[in-house]
Amino acid sequence: MARADYLFTSESVSEGHPDKVSDRISDEVVDIYLAADPEARVGCETLCTTNRVVIAGEVRGPDSVKPEQLIEAARAAIKDIGYEQDGFHWKNADIACYLHAQSAHIAQGVDASGNKDEGAGDQGIMFGYAVRETPSLMPAPLHYSHQILKRLSEVRHSGEQSTLGPDAKSQVTVRYANGKPVGVTSIVLSTQHTDENQSSKDIRDIVEPYIRQTLPEGWISEDTAWHVNPTGAFVIGGPDGDAGLTGRKIIVDTYGGAAPHGGGAFSGKDPTKVDRSAAYAARYLAKNVVAAGLADRATIQLSYAIGVSEPLSIYVDLHETGQVDEAKLEKVLGEVLSLSPRGIRTHLKLNRPIYARTSAYGHFGREPDTDGGFSWEKIDLVDALKSAF
């Protein structure tokens, strides 16, 4: 039996967090290559530290994409995030690009040839999850951790609260009663700011109204614990305060710890990498299962072998909330969506430059964009799933 009454905590980080700066730059590289060639292959990693950025990895794409273009895209991303401080400035940072050609041994396993379909870009396991806790069918602790930082980012970029800096982290502890989220027992927020004389109380006075706007009415009580900039001043932030690397915030990117994670990062990878595309497909399926009313909560696992086109396994757990047989659902999911790398990319139209926008505030729980971004958040399989049962 699942526990009914408990506390659960998730965290989020802003687009100015050092690791998210790295994710953003890596996904800018992916977008540039896919814009130039939808079949380009990219595996890009980025390191950010004090006034230095290093872009590395392997690619296969048109020669028209030059290192200078990627370096300028990195500068533009840093500027868009808002870094213009002495220790990390979009104009002055030393940016180096060390991308090289993709291994031919990887390409031979992944590429389609003869009667062989395109294979998975690597082995691995991927998880998708959906739960009826928020309108986006995301777990409440992560959803509201993201929303807090998105709201603070909006007022920072607009100039409404220009004292706030780009680097920030949030953490929300949600109380569950009868298995439903009903309130917040603690709120943690650390945000970079520009004035060394501002105290933790000063920052709380600035951010508290926005946090209260973000959370559901009645969720904050007089017993809710607040920890705003608990260490005091937070002026030195971003990559100047702590080095950043691509792929270090995978729990923030997915479900905040409310669901399993296969371990693979998303950012910097083109959609032939099943770390990314199959994780998107698993979320797509889980969300449609819940949206179709087949369960209130769903976890889906997919597994792959490098160079092999079809998944090795499909596993479904409806957490004792299901209205249908899980074994039958596993079969149905493979019928309503082709889960080969090519099938996923074709159905979700993933070979497009839509990835830089995913690098902050989660890859899931977002609204689908008109240009195809976040296509895995659509609920267009509902009718097919219902009819199958």
Told to judge if 269 belongs to the known catalytic residues of this protein, a careful annotator would answer: yes
24, 60, 175, 248: the active-site residue: 248
The Cβ of residue 300 has, within 10 Å, a number of other Cβ atoms equal to: 26
Residues 194 and 70 in one domain: no
Confirm if 19 and 243 have CB atoms less than 8 A apart. no
On the question of pLDDT at 39 being above 90, the answer is: yes
Q: How far apart are CA 223 and CA 7, in angstroms?
A: 14
Read off the pLDDT of residues 170-201 as tens digits, 9 standing for 90 and up.
999 999 999 999 999 999 999 999 999 999 99
269 is in an annotated binding site: yes
**115 within some domain:** no
Residues 202 and 295 in one domain: no
Q: How far apart are CA 152 and CA 165, in angstroms?
A: 10
For residue 152, what are its two tokens? 């603070």
Told to judge if 248 belongs to the known catalytic residues of this protein, a careful annotator would answer: yes
pLDDT of residue 307: 86
Residues 278 and 367 in one domain: yes
**230 within some domain:** yes
How many structural domains comprise the chain?
A: 3
On the question of pLDDT at 104 being above 80, the answer is: no
**119 within some domain:** no
8, 234, 266, 364: the active-site residue: 234
15 is in an annotated binding site: no
CATH code (residue 23): 3.30.300.10
Structural domain of 78: 18-110
The rounded percent of the chain whose pLDDT value lies above 70 is 96
Confirm if 299 and 290 have CB atoms less than 8 A apart. no
Residue with tokens 């739960």: 131
pTM: 0.95
Which residue, of 238, 262, 296, is where some domain finishes? 238
175, 273, 283, 363: the active-site residue: 273
**118 within some domain:** no
Q: What angle do CA 249, 155, 358 make, to 5 degrees?
A: 30
**343 within some domain:** yes
Residues 212 and 182 in one domain: yes
Under the banding of pLDDT at 50, 70 and 90, the label for residue 102 is confident
Read off the pLDDT of residues 322-375 as tens digits, 9 standing for 90 and up.
999 999 999 999 999 999 999 999 999 999 999 999 999 999 999 999 999 999
On the question of pLDDT at 136 being above 60, the answer is: yes
Give Rg (Cα) of the chain.
21
* Closest C-alpha among 132, 143, 140 to residue 176: 140
Told to judge if 19 belongs to the known catalytic residues of this protein, a careful annotator would answer: yes
The Cβ of residue 201 has, within 10 Å, a number of other Cβ atoms equal to: 10
123 is in an annotated binding site: no
Residues 311 and 174 in one domain: no
Average pLDDT over residues 135-158: 98
Q: Interhelix angle for 18-36 vs 67-81, to 10°? A: 140
Residues 128 and 273 in one domain: yes
Residues 213 and 348 in one domain: no
167 is in an annotated binding site: yes
